[in-house]
Amino acid sequence: MLNLPFQPRYLLPPLFLMLFSTIFAAFDLNNLLEFNRNLVEQGEIWRVFTSQFVHANWAHLGLNCSGIFLIWLLHGEYTTPLRYTANICLLALWCGLGVYWFCPSIHIYTGLSALLHGVIIWGTVKDVTLGLKSGYLLFTGVWIKIAFEQFSGPNADIGKLINSTVAIDAHLIGAVGGTLLGIPLAIKYLKNSD
């Protein structure tokens, strides 16, 4: 039988993340919150952060909510509400700044997918520190997916579904961010292994 993390401390943070994104979609706040390079350069710097929580359309939101749910299934019990919030906020800022600095061809950007790549990578590192061999497999699998996207380009079918180009470079930025967030876990694990 599955032992899912239904305790409120594990369940509420991802539910709030989905709720906030849904509220932003319901009130159509993209014009105010999406990453828009021209507006960021004119001083609307909050967009670097808030762009992670708005979506191109309802299908885009649905895909990202599915990702939140999957990560909760895999790693929901690893975080406290404070750690979850810190990881989400740090990765949102990291991904937004990464898109701004390293992806000059991206003028409009929305969505949680980059951030979620970072969250799942952090979870895989936590898996490894707990002695779960599946952590190595999932870590490698995510990086193979990232490499495949970099060589083959964005998935056209998903692009049609979300009515936008899949920002594969943002996925790479998110995965790097998750790896960096995982370094303290790995260092602690290695110190304890000696």
What is the value of pTM for the model shown?
Answer: 0.95
Q: Is 149 helix (H, G, I), strand (E, B) or coil?
A: helix
How sure is the predictor about 2, in pLDDT bands with cuts at 50, 70 and 90?
A: low
Domains of the chain by range and CATH? 8-193 (1.20.1540.10)
How sure is the predictor about 1, in pLDDT bands with cuts at 50, 70 and 90?
A: very low
pLDDT digits (tens, 9 = 90+) for 173-186: 999 999 999 999 99
pLDDT top residue among 3 and 62: 62
- C-alpha closest to that of 61 among 95, 23, 93, 22: 22
Q: Which residue has the tokens 């909510």?
A: 65
By CB atoms closer than 10 A (0-12, 13-18, 19+), residue 191 is exposed
By CB atoms closer than 10 A (0-12, 13-18, 19+), residue 159 is middle
